[in-house]
Chain A
Amino acid sequence: MDIWMKVGSALLLGAMIIYLWPRAKIMMQESPKGSSDDWKTASIALLGVIGFVILLMMAV
């Protein structure tokens, strides 16, 4: 990657981290806690995504 592209990408990512940090902190503090059943429901969907992506990677 060209040095200016690296500098530009780093600046963009740095700006995102600075912008997101205070909001992320609030979200982390104020998010309701999920039960094990809630996490199980979410995990099923995310495991499905993982399986599907692996399938796509094997297909190309």
Chain B
Amino acid sequence: MFDNMTSFNTTIAAPAVDTSKVLRNTYSLLAMTLIFSALMAGLSVMMQMPPFTYLLSVGGSMLLMWFVLPKTANSAKGVGVVFAITGLLGFGLGPVLTNYLSLPNGGQIVATAFGGTGVIFLGLSAYALTTRKDFSFMGGFLMAGMLMVLVAALANIFLELPLMSVVISSVVILIMSGFILYDTSRMIHGGETNYLLMTVGLYLSIFNIFVSLLQLLGFASGDE
């Protein structure tokens, strides 16, 4: 659970950039990275990767996001970095999916989380695109919420309270939903013109919603 470490840090100066071009490029690259990420997740499931793969993948992708992407976001190399980040995260999902798929109704949980994430993303994107509302006012609120969730998640690693896990997952879904509105509105209103950074930002929101939804559905079905 980590997000939008990229979406707030750079506003590339490009005064005459057409916002529809940014939208088109972002959604095209996002679609490709999601497919690539799903393929990597499938590969990881087939290879029966051990649980620590998730940690290593998230750690590796964080390093790429923090130290490599900002330096390459304005060049063609940046596309490769975006695929490396999303591929790593997808590969890291393998052990999580293996764990859920081993449950009696695991297939249903994974499929529901997958479909649910898609509906949430498409619904919120359509909402932001059709209302054309400027959601930039949510930035500070979302970041404050994100930090609180990270602190709570850190505490819960050692407390191991199941109810707190459910609350954290629920709040993560809400915060990531807020980030989808925020990021989409930034593209519409020209707040962010770099489609590579936007793709990673939106990808992270989708990734976090999917993982949190898996956890909530696992809890709801009584398997967790």
Partner of A12, one of B55, B123, B138, B181: B55
The answer on a CB contact under 8 Å between B217 and A6 is no
Which of B20-28, B35-43, B78-86, B149-157 lies on the face that meets chain A? B149-157
- What residues on B are CB-neighbors of A21 within 8 Å? 147
Chain A residues bordering chain B, tally (CB within 8 A): 43
The answer to whether B135 and A42 have CB atoms under 8 Å apart is yes
Closest beta carbon of chain B to A8's beta carbon, Å: 4
Contact of B62 among A8, A12, A57 (CB under 8 A): A12
Please measure, in the bound complex, the distance between the C-alpha atom of A2 and the C-alpha atom of B120, giving whole angstroms: 33
Known A-B contacts A12-B55, A12-B62; A53 and B157 likewise in contact (beta carbons under 8 Å): no
Select one of B55, B131, B138 contacting A8, CB under 8 A.
Answer: B55
Is A27 within 8 A of B153, CB to CB? no
A20–B116 touching, CB < 8 Å: no
Contacts of A53 in B (CB 8 A): 116, 120, 170, 173, 213, 216
Query: Which A residues are CB-close (under 8 A) to B181?
Result: 42, 45
User: Is the CB of B51 closer than 8 A to any CB of chain A?
Assistant: yes
- Which of A14, A16, A46, A52 touches B116 (beta carbons < 8 Å)? A52
Beyond A12-B59, A13-B157, A42-B178: 13 further Cβ-contacts under 8 Å?
A: A1-B160, A2-B51, A8-B55, A12-B62, A16-B5, A17-B154, A19-B66, A27-B139, A31-B137, A34-B138, A56-B112, A56-B116, A57-B220
Name 22 A/B residue pairs within 8 A (Cβ), A-sorted.
Answer: A5-B51, A5-B55, A9-B157, A12-B2, A13-B154, A16-B2, A16-B5, A17-B147, A17-B154, A20-B150, A23-B9, A27-B8, A27-B143, A31-B140, A41-B131, A42-B133, A42-B135, A42-B181, A45-B181, A48-B127, A49-B173, A60-B109
